């Protein structure tokens, strides 16, 4: 009789473990958390540069980084025009300014700032539409001319801007 009781206790314990494993599971989804399931395509228009100081490659760099972010972080496919979600806008600011002034009134650092204006349209959920300005900056030593660090700074700032835009459009930060 003791063996039967031990058997049933073991069986119940094993069954409890199986049930708990079945109820614990992880759901994986795309990084873009709040896109409706029927959103399949994205279109990103070219971002013209209307900043007073123009970097000739910034429009292309920024537009491509925005496309790449969505294509790599979501299951969306690229549409030339009329995607289910759409980005358009312009580069509105590109400036450098001295910061961190030293005692001899020279700057230890300079700051490159890039600003963009974005219009986001979600054709499947109009409540997510927005128009907003985004701005990011990066600092560099004043001992270096902008031309020697510009390409890397533009890459860094563009990535930060794209992350901010992605989070606003998809993660709703």
pLDDT per residue as tens digits for the range 19-29 = 444 444 333 33
Q: Report pLDDT digits (tens) over 17-57.
A: 444 444 443 333 344 456 778 899 999 999 999 999 999 99
Q: What is the pLDDT of residue 171?
A: 81
Q: What is the pLDDT of residue 32?
A: 46
Distances (CA, A) of 62 to 17, 118, 119, 137: 52, 12, 15, 14
Q: Report pLDDT digits (tens) over 108-133.
A: 899 999 999 999 999 998 999 999 99
Q: Give pTM, 2 decimals.
A: 0.77
Question: Per CATH, which fold does 31-171 belong to?
Answer: Double Stranded RNA Binding Domain (3.30.160)
């Amino acid at each position: 009789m003791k063996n039967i009781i031990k058997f049933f206790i073991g069986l119940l314990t094993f069954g409890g473990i199986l049930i708990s494993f079945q109820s614990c599971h992880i759901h994986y989804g795309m990084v873009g958390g709040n896109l409706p399931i029927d959103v399949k395509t994205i279109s990103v228009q070219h971002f013209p540069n209307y900043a007073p100081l123009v970097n000739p490659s910034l429009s292309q760099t920024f537009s491509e980084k925005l496309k790449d972010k969505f294509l790599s972080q979501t299951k969306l496919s690229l549409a030339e025009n009329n995607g289910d979600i759409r980005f358009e806008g312009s580069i509105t600011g590109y400036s450098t300014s001295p910061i961190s002034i030293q005692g001899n009134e020279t700057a230890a650092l300079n700051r490159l700032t890039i600003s963009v204006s974005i219009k986001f349209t979600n054709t499947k959920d109009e409540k997510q539409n927005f128009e907003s300005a985004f701005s990011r900056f990066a600092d560099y030593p004043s001992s270096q001319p902008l031309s020697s660090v510009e390409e890397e700074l533009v890459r860094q700032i563009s990535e930060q801007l794209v992350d901010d835009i992605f989070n606003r459009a998809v993660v709703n930060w």
